[in-house]
Amino acid sequence: MKIGILKEHQDGEKRVSISPNIAKQLIDKGFEILLEQDAGLNSSYKNSDYTDINATIENRETVFKDAQILVKINPFNEDDLKFVHKKHVLMSQLYYKSSPELIKAIAEKGATAFSMDAIPRISRAQDMDVLSSQSNLAGYKAVILGAYEMTKIFPLMMTAAGTITPSRVLIYGVGVAGLQAIATAKRLGAVVEATDIRSETKEQAESLGAKFISVENEGEESEGGYAKEASEEFEQKQKEAVNKSLFQADLVITTANIPGRKAPVLITEEQVLQMKNGALIIDLAATQGGNCEVSVLNQTIVKNGVKVIGTSIAPKSVSNNASELYAKNIYNFILHLTEDLNFKWDLEEEITDETLIVQNGIQRKK
């Protein structure tokens, strides 16, 4: 069975879906690896790193022509679909709930498609969960970006000229990215607070040293491991509970995403205008519309002295680590789906059922 690794062409994307280390492990299992030329360069992987482990370097058209499994990180686009036909099994983050036209186009090609972002949040799927592996790095990188962009340092520092008080950091969303952001900011010496609509995250946040801001007499449960959409009443109560900390914060990191839906607005423009001069907001949900009302993806907006950076949960700036983790997720996923180099097609099994969006041109999920 031949696996084709396609080059990512999305603006700013530096990751590759399968690293040389994982490619070697797949080859050792009997798979053949075809790499689109230079697909790994932006992740510091040379073509020779792949040929040294017996992968084959090909041009884009040949990879599509010869491979059965086609692997990407980002969704397949119109240019990709020109080369897709019914023998292909596609694997990438398809975001199928918010991309009905893409799923329809794949079905019209007669192909089969698995959506990596649809991996269920269950214990036996943890080593396939690309959202978690990538979010972990994003949470870390958001704090590092904050340290670079802030006009203050994180820790308490005693100097001959006087004492520097620690920075105050506020984290919205105590998921994988939020927890890593809490841990990183705390290690750097900041005073960290966190909030989440899911009451069960309180203990996790506090275990890492953050003060958890609760909404009195309220609490939402998660849905399949993800936060579900909160009521307007709850969102208003949360804003009121968090405002004091928000207006005192030096750095705010927002991480709240709901799969397949627009990101919830957690910080309004009115709230931004009440924050202190020089504060910084890093919005990791900007790809899905943003948690901050004024954020714009891949732009820095300054409002009344507050800097708002709109970015994404995709940790492109640490592409080497991110690629290795994504590749390991893909490796475990492929081994789960196959036996003796053939697909098992066990549609009664939860991981297969949840991720198989299109099968032989028939759309299974909407």
Which active-site residues does the annotation give?
Answer: 121, 126, 129, 132, 226
Is 293 within 8 Å of 269 (Cβ atoms)? yes
Side chain identity at residue 265, one-letter code: V
Distance CA 78, CA 343 (A): 27
Q: List residues bridging with 194 in a β-sheet.
A: 171, 212
Number of helical (H) and strand (E) elements in the chain, helices listed first? 12, 19
- Residue 259 CB-half CA count within 13 A: 21
DSSP symbol at 160:
T
> How many Å separate Cα 126 from the centre of its chain?
14
Distance CA 71, CA 35 (A): 10
Classify 227 as helix, strand or coil.
coil
Q: Where are the beta strands (DSSP E) in 156-305?
A: 157-159, 162-164, 168-172, 191-195, 211-212, 251-254, 280-283, 300-303
Is 253 within 8 Å of 181 (Cβ atoms)? yes
Distance CA 101, CA 116 (A): 18
- Nearest alpha carbon to residue 314 among 192, 196, 142: 142
For the chain, the straight-line distance linking the first and the last C-alpha, in angstroms and rounded, comes to: 29
Return the structure tokens found at 328: 């390991």
